[in-house]
Structure 1
């Protein structure tokens, strides 16, 4: 219930009608406050009931539980019936002897609020123009290139050309809004979530023409195909690569075809940071630092060797390249322009996508603590925080599927300066996070239904570029004030 709209209305009447209306207003306002307090009490009681009776099976965060297809209906009456009578064959007990009807309706209303939170991301209307009005400014999306399948990463050359990867294994130079094929890329396993993924330039690219590619490297064992995340270093000469060399290959290989992670960034310390997903095996990989590279952020030198100050460098049996662990599927890494700190986003399960500040040697909790539940509705962890686990800066419920991330810098987008941009694969928009320190205090969904936003970059020309799937397109964001 909103108590502010009647307040504005009655305050206007008060100014016009004087003290008599003031008495009437005070009476109404008192009644409104009583109603709001009752609603708040009911909500708090239902939240406590959910935590006590429901969270053990459905997860600590109710919004994650509500992000689902409701087999037995999601209306108030449907939820009431499911809670009261249960569905024994589905493992749902009846609570008619535990709660009275009023308490069951309170719990149903609490769940409906979660369903409403999920539905706020249900964007139905397709864009009808390249002009978008946002809260702070009007933006035109200029099509820079199209015709790709899944443009996964972008790197901006000193020439003004864009080097872009396509998950199917293709590499292109975007030149005068046309795609020019680049030869010499790695052979990739283009299955599931695998393929050719990120691309970045060496900090000294002007002199050495070196680039780095992340990709799904594979091998065959009998009839099985195994794959992993690998980092290739190569030299770009015109429209061909040479001197190709894998400087990192994550171990162990896996039969699974998802959760490769695979974002890369050079830190201000000159070292290469990159993510490797846990490949869907959360029970073993993310928390294991001995002989296991999966579910980690790594830090290496540009030649593939490991810095001696890495946190596990001197730990017996540990993988020396590990910088942090306990990750699920990180698909964004970026450097804060002022602090130099490494920021990351990673996919949660159903609910619990995260923004994290990456620190040396820290455990980020997967799967010991999470805000999400499994896709089949089963609980992964009953808690979202534990001692010794690095807390997340921000989480999304429902999951938006974050991929790509960039801080807004420069003068072209003055009202966005310092904001954090993240692509949404699931809901097909660009997410703008307003920060106060390291806290997200406000968010805005930009360019709704533009397509699965796979990557977002702040380019040297001061413009923001986004890479969108289906069809694969790169857009340049141009403020209309220009």
Structure 2
């Protein structure tokens, strides 16, 4: 698949739910998985035009997150399993270290695991002073009992900090622990202004979904703490009786992407809606973002949610996707290598409109009021579930996929490919 890639919309939508007239089992909805070749790939894009995509690492098990170290290496999370180190990630010939980091929480032997129970390592973030203190922050989900009624594990989300030395996480300390609950999902970490740490935690997927509207728990929230785990005195619920003082905003469904707006310093979040209604939100202290009382989406299967999109006292989204794109990691580009993309938002999308195999890197252009004016889907012909995207220290873009054979990609400017 070298060279310029162009796949028609008709071809992309050709695979659907097909059942025979004789009552045979329906075929899965989606496009056939496509192995990513050795590359490099070349694409034409709307404003930057020519780009080159190099495959830096492959054979990863369901990539979730990655972060760059000051020396040019990168750490890659294989969700729920391990952290891998990629030597010279920004160089010409990166090398994936075979042995994972030691000291990462491991729950692989846990019994009674339901397919939807999410355990183990989730997100990672490098301390702003990592070059001096070697501190690494990470989230993980650990089992906390069994709910016989739901036939599911009870799970807690934990934010921890450890020192990274010679391939080991040592001196691990839990800084924040959530409540034991059924249906716990993913989380993301971001360092914001003044090195405050923001942590987004998805809402509960079954049972107590109204917990996103309560302030007595961390689920369906974005939290804000200092690097040592203490709570800033200006957090909006510090003085609210019964509230978790770490809460910064609430009423979120599944905010799986966090980025800092270089222009305003505000935190920007991507958020999964139900079926449709995926969002981009500007995160403002103390605001209620509506879930599950208000949503632009519907229930899976098409039944309506008993809501209106935005209600009294709730913060409206910056933008909404209909149909959904399953957004995850995001990055606001402020480098110099892609002059035409400066200020653009890049969103890792797993699929569009509930059709597997239609993931992409979505590029959104905003005006000076942070209002969407156009967007473009990049790399969709690779048919990958994109999970994270970052601007590298070299000003290039890097993206990670979520597959059984995940890959880490580097995107760089290139001459416009000929047709």
**Shared fold, TM over 0.5:** yes
> How far off its partner does 1:255 sit?
2.5
Q: 1:272 to 1:182 in 2, by over 3 A?
A: same
What corresponds to 1:183 in structure 2?
A: 102
When structure 1 is superposed on structure 2, of 213-222 and 449-458 the one drifting more is 213-222
The 2-side partners of 1:399 and 1:349 are apart by 8
1:463 aligns to 2:396 (yes or no): yes
Contact 1:367 1:381 in 2 (8 A): no
What is residue 84 of structure 2 aligned with on the other side? 172
Task: Give the distance between the partners of 1:271 and 1:357, measured in 2 at CA.
Answer: 17
Residue equivalent to 2:211: 285
Structure with the larger helix share: 1
1:255 aligned partner: 182
> Partners in 1 of 2:308 and 2:327 — Cα distance?
22
Whether the aligned pair in 1 keeps the contact of 2:103 and 2:170 (CA below 8 Å) is yes
Partner of 1:159: 71
Give, in angstroms, the shift of residue 481 of structure 1. Answer: 4.2
2:33 and 2:161 map into 1 onto residues whose CA distance is 42
- Asked if 1:134 is matched to 2:40, the reply is no
Distance across 2 between alignment mates of 1:309 and 1:261? 26
Supply the RMSD in Å over aligned alpha carbons: 2.4
Query: Cα 1:365–1:179, aligned 2, differ >3 Å: closer, same or farther?
Result: same
Structure 2 residue aligned with 1:440: 372
Asked whether the 8 Å contact 1:430–1:446 carries over to 2, the reply is yes
Q: In 2 relative to 1, CA 141–254 (structure 1 residues): closer, same or farther, beyond 3 Å? A: same
Of 375, 379, 384, the residue aligned with 2:300 is 375
What is the Cα deviation at residue 220 of structure 1? 2.4
Partner residue of 1:225?
153
How far, CA to CA, are the matches of 1:158 and 1:188 in structure 2? Answer: 30
CA distance in 2, matches of 1:283, 1:262: 16
How far apart in 1 are the matches of 2:328 and 2:107? 20
2:317 is the counterpart of 1:392? yes
The reply on whether 1:428 has 2:359 as its aligned counterpart is yes
Q: Which residue of 1 aligns with 2:163?
A: 235
**Would the alpha carbon gap of residues 283 and 150 (structure 1) be closer, same or farther in structure 2, given more than 3 Å must change?**
closer
- Provide the secondary structure at the position in 1 that maps to 2:255: strand
Distance 2:326 2:255 in 1: 10
Contact 2:122 2:186 (8 Å CA) reproduced: no
Once the two structures are overlaid, the 10-residue window that deviates more, 348-357 or 461-470, is: 461-470
For structure 1, which segment, 359-368 or 143-152, has the greater mean C-alpha deviation from structure 2 after superposition? 143-152
Shift of 1:463: 1.1
Q: Aligned equivalents of 1:188 and 1:327: distance in 2?
A: 27
Q: Distance in 2 between matches of 1:390 and 1:123?
A: 36
Moved more, 280-289 or 441-450: 280-289
Query: Matches of 1:455 and 1:373 in 2, distance apart?
Result: 25
- Tell me the alpha carbon deviations over residues 142-187 of structure 1, each in whole angstroms, 9 at most, x when there is no partner: 1111111111111101111001111142111101322342111112
TM-score w.r.t. length of structure 2: 0.81
Q: What is the distance in 2 between the residues matched to 1:381 and 1:244?
A: 44
Residue number in structure 1 paired with 2:406: 472
Residue in 1 aligned with 2:336? 411
SS of residue matched to 1:422: strand
Distance 1:125 1:468 in 2: 13
Secondary structure in structure 2 of the residue aligned to 1:246 = strand
Task: Measure, in 2, the Cα distance between the counterparts of 1:170 and 1:218.
Answer: 17
Gaps of at least 5 residues in structure 2 are 1-15, 20-29, 88-93, 352-357
C-alpha contact 2:74 2:85 (8 A) present in aligned 1 = yes
Q: Which piece of structure 1 moves more, 378-387 or 299-308?
A: 378-387
1:192 aligns with 2:119: no
Corresponding residue pairs, total: 362
SS in 2 for 1:172: strand
Greater relative contact order (Cα 8 A, min sep 6): structure 1 or 2?
Answer: 2
3-state DSSP of counterpart to 1:285: helix
The structure number with the bigger radius of gyration is 1
Task: Report the 3-state secondary structure (helix = DSSP H, G, I; strand = E; otherwise coil) of the residue aligned with 1:330.
Answer: coil
Change (3 A) 1:349 1:173: same
The secondary structure found in structure 1 opposite 2:132 is helix
Q: Distance in 2 between matches of 1:328 and 1:378?
A: 18
In structure 2, relative to structure 1, the CA distance for the partners of 1:125 and 1:322 (3 Å cut) is closer
Structure 1 residue 409: Cα displacement: 1.5
Q: TM-score, normalized by length of structure 1?
A: 0.71
Alignment of 1:291-330 (within 5 A): 291-330=216-255
Q: For residues 204-255 of structure 1, give each alpha carbon's deviation from its aligned partner in whole angstroms, at most 9, with x where no partner exists.
A: 111100011112121224866311221111100021110111111112x222
Q: What corresponds to 2:24 in structure 1?
A: none
- Contact 1:218/1:227 (8 A) holds in 2: yes
C-alpha distance in structure 1 between counterparts of 2:65 and 2:371, whole Å = 27
SS in 1 for 2:377: strand
